[in-house]
Structure 1
Amino acid sequence: MQPAADSSVVNAMTVDVEDYFHVSAFEPYIGRDKWNELPCRVERNTDRILQIFADFEVRATFFTLGWVAERYPALIKRIVKAGHELACHGYSHVRVTQQTPEEFRDDVSRAKGLLEDIGGVPVLGYRAASYSIGSKNLWALEILEASGFRYSSSIYPVKHDLYGMPEAPRFSFRPCRSDGLLEIPVTTVELVGKKLPCGGGGYFRLLPYRISRWAIERVNRKDRQSCVFYFHPWEIDPDQPRQRGIDLKTRVRHYLNLSRTEGRLRRLLQDFRWNTMAHVFLSPHHTNTSQ
């Protein structure tokens, strides 16, 4: 199946493997002590994603919580067996802004070791919960490098109420040293001098598909850069349990257009070329690193 857009650029498709109750926006409403009591849907949803990727012969990177891997080791093995890249999303979705350096080091080491033991493959990549690495905690990148990670995708170069480092480069860069850890931001499109999100998540559900398609194609053609796209398993699950008593903003952000996500995702997989983060950014041919 041929992509409809610029086929000379390969983009990175990523999945943040977490369940609906793990999201940061639900922290005030769902205590961590309640997680084991809630119906889990992450395995069935991730299996659905594996089938969708198989339908389009796409390989992707699965940034996976250690919490999920510990409970569903067979799922981790299926991800690896299907040829996808296994990467780390921390152990239990604690934002880096809520951790000390020592706590962060312990968290990523625990999760990385768990994933590697179950998956039987090296884990090279890390993504912070809610893109929670920014200007005030760049020390985390040094810890990631010392922990054996080769790249991070934890800085979102936008202004957002929950995360963001607007002054960060739009494209991959090495924050520590010239041959050190590679930071690969989720993609933004530049319009009238402003960086606008176009790399997935809630924006993909909020805006019409044609806007996401236009933005990704613009980055591919105008900037000659590979895009990084992300979504979560719960975003293809409109039948997930609905949480009561949550505020309006959280309700809109989490539940808007869930029934449309899978259809849009299928169009996206058809319209562009996709591969794993490691293939796109760590391969010898990759040269589009910001200075």
Structure 2
Amino acid sequence: MSKLIANSKKSKHPIALSFDVEDWFTVRNMRDFVSDSEWDKQEMRVNIGMDFILNALAGKNIKATFYILGWLADRAPELIKKIADQGHEIGCHSYQHTPIDLLDPKSFEADLKKAVAALESVSGRKIKGFRAPSFSVMHKTSWALPIIRDCGLEYDSSIFVTSHPDYGVKDFPTAITTVSGLTEVPLKKSKFFGAQVPVCGGGYFRMLPYAMTKSALKQDLQSGPVVMYFHPWEFDPEQPRVALPAIKRFRHYVGLNSNRDKFLSLLNDFEFTTVESLVQDAKASNNLSSYTFKN
């Protein structure tokens, strides 16, 4: 289990810190503007954000979980080796970053197997955890969970307990849960003066004032751990700009200029662990909820 970091403002539980390792052109918001057949023609900038992340974590002796695209493992193996050599958990984020709702079961299984093989070959590690692109394990894609299990993975962290146009399972438990033979580590909203606020990363973290994020996290961590997620491109404010529709443009570009400073503040203010460590602790204490998707 990873060592928790001492902090003068300790919370009762840690934050499981995770990163979805993808480049600026692979995200869902770009899907209609940069097709995957054109990815190899784009400027790869993933190392810009990753250098910042890895240096920041090393400075605080923090270990985190990195869910990585198999596509990147094939093109930047030295990056995956660097992450592994620094003692971080390596997880799978699919091969081609295609959301599950855009795949059928056969295509999803092929993509997943290809990704796991690429990541295990480069990292030299058994891949245990999976996170779907765009948190795309939902009611209509719950068929993916037995496939993830049968491909040899031990846990999933793809369900966001929320309502969103592209993802979410609103009635899913907020605790670590057994579902379809897998251990599910969900992401959730945090409490903020009685309201439920999504402060757990991504565009939410970039958009909201850090003081609000900090307050909400402190409240929520009194009752249980929180999973947070970030992407390398969120720490690259000079990335190429694409003429996206207004909503997608806002989601992708909001807060890029201030995100590094906010992230460093986060590292100073809380304790962190890996997602794998949360799973180990939950299993050791037999403290697992259960859930069944209804067909």
**TM-score w.r.t. structure 2 length?**
0.92
Name the structure 1 match of 2:259. 261
TM-fit CA distance, 1:113: 1.1
Name the structure 1 match of 2:187. 186
Cα deviation code 1:25-50 (max 9, x no counterpart): 11111111221111110123212211
Cα deviation code 1:141-193 (max 9, x no counterpart): 111111111110111111111111111111211112xxx31111113224688
AA in 2 matched with 1:94 = T
Asked if the contact 1:66/1:114 (under 8 Å) is kept, the reply is yes
AA in 1 matched with 2:279 = F
TM-fit CA distance, 1:246: 1.4
Distance in 1 between residues matched to 2:284 and 2:211, nearest whole Å: 30
Name the structure 2 match of 1:211. 212
Distance in 2 between residues matched to 1:286 and 1:24, nearest whole Å: 37
TM-fit CA distance, 1:236: 0.6
1:174 aligned counterpart, secondary structure? strand
**TM-score w.r.t. structure 1 length?**
0.93
2:67 aligned counterpart, secondary structure? strand
1:110 aligned counterpart, secondary structure? helix
Structure 1: stretches of 5+ with no match in the other structure: none
Distance in 1 between residues matched to 2:131 and 2:218, nearest whole Å: 24
Root-mean-square deviation (CA, aligned residues, Å) is: 1.7
Asked if the contact 2:66/2:91 (under 8 Å) is kept, the reply is yes
Aligned residues: 285
2:71 aligned counterpart, secondary structure? helix
TM-fit CA distance, 1:61: 0.3
Distance in 2 between residues matched to 1:288 and 1:40, nearest whole Å: 42
Distance in 2 between residues matched to 1:215 and 1:45, nearest whole Å: 26
1:128 aligns to 2:128 (yes or no): no
Name the structure 1 match of 2:293. none
Distance in 2 between residues matched to 1:227 and 1:28, nearest whole Å: 32
Distance in 2 between residues matched to 1:157 and 1:91, nearest whole Å: 24
Distance in 2 between residues matched to 1:138 and 1:286, nearest whole Å: 27
Cα deviation code 1:259-281 (max 9, x no counterpart): 11111111111111111111122
Identity within the alignment, %: 35
Distance in 1 between residues matched to 2:6 and 2:185, nearest whole Å: 27
Distance 1:239-1:191 versus aligned 2 partners, 3 A rule: closer
**Which deviates more from structure 2 when the two are superposed, residues 124-133 or residues 209-218?**
209-218
Structure 2: stretches of 5+ with no match in the other structure: 291-295
